Amino acid sequence: MAKLEHAPLLEVIMELTWQSASQAELEKFQIAVGALCSSLKETYNTPIFLLPDANMPIMLALGKPVYRCLHKDNPNQMFQFGPGLLSVNFVGSNYEWSNFLTEVMKVVNAFMAVYQFSDEKQLGLNLKYVDFFPYNFAAQGDILQFLSDKFHVDIKADFLKDLKELGLRTGLITPAGIFRLVLNTAQLTKTKDVGFIIESQINNLVPVNNNEVFKAIICNAHEHLSEFFKKMTSGDLYESFK
């Protein structure tokens, strides 16, 4: 999909996940933090500690980011590391897939080199896009009509007239992996803008130490999510992003 100059993107996130509840895995994480940040120090800044309390047991942060490293040339680009979690993130709409993929491969390769999983290990892969669509609830009328007109989502229910908020969650199995969609009315913390936040993601499994297979799986996920976005917003909404 060509870059959209006015894309509604808030953030794109690539996550790798694995089981890390054992004491051995927690100790391995503590050692890997320094090695990973050191191997990427030419590109990324020193890590920022994210937990609210330095004395908080790492066990309580399973599956959550504990450290964040910002890209030296673009702080919107970053990676995060915690026990059982590695993520590569880009915040904002000025995003290009090819550049993001380059950073993903750089960070993942460095991570694989320092963490050293067994060759038969598989990791969870999540690729997620978070988009925000402004909506004036007072002026623009029926939420369900807006969903139908703009997102091609039809909910027919007379007893749901004049909704003030909405939350939808669904998923299905696709050739690219498990597709999940979350749609919620929300207000952005910084700007206070109100509207819809839509999260679309693909979940799959990837082998360790196999760049070719990993890249094929994540690119397939990206293609699926791109096509979904084009179909969901097709019409005047999609044209407004160009």
Interval 176-200 mean pLDDT = 94
- pLDDT 10s digits, 34-54: 999 999 999 999 999 999 888
CA 197/CA 30 separation, integer angstroms: 35
CA 97/CA 215 separation, integer angstroms: 13
Residue 81 CA from chain centroid, whole number: 14
Interval 47-76 mean pLDDT = 93
Task: Say whether pLDDT at 180 is over 70.
Answer: yes
- pLDDT 10s digits, 89-136: 999 988 999 999 999 999 999 999 999 888 889 999 999 999 999 988
Q: How many CA atoms does the CB half-sphere of 49 hold within 13 Å? A: 9
In this structure, what DSSP letter does residue 30 have? H
Partners of 173 in the β-ladder: 178
pLDDT bucket at 59, cuts 50 / 70 / 90: confident
Average pLDDT of the chain? 93
Per cent of the chain over pLDDT 90 is 74
The larger pLDDT score, comparing residue 199 to residue 53, is at: 199
Say whether 81 sits in a helix, a strand or coil: strand
- Could you give the residue ranges of the DSSP H alpha helices within 40-159? 97-115, 143-146
Per cent of the chain over pLDDT 70 is 98
**What b/e sequence results for 92-122 when a residue is b if at least 16 CB atoms lie within 10 Å of its CB, and e otherwise?**
ebebebeebbebbebbbebbbebbeeeeeee
Partners of 30 in the β-ladder: none
Directed axis angle between helix 211-232 and helix 97-115, to 10°?
Answer: 140
Token pair of 191, please? 């700007």
pLDDT at position 163 is 80
CA 109/CA 104 separation, integer angstroms: 8
Residue type, 240: S
pLDDT at position 66 is 96
pLDDT at position 2 is 63
Token pair of 130, please? 């978070």
Per-domain residue ranges for the chain? 1-10+131-204+213-242, 19-116
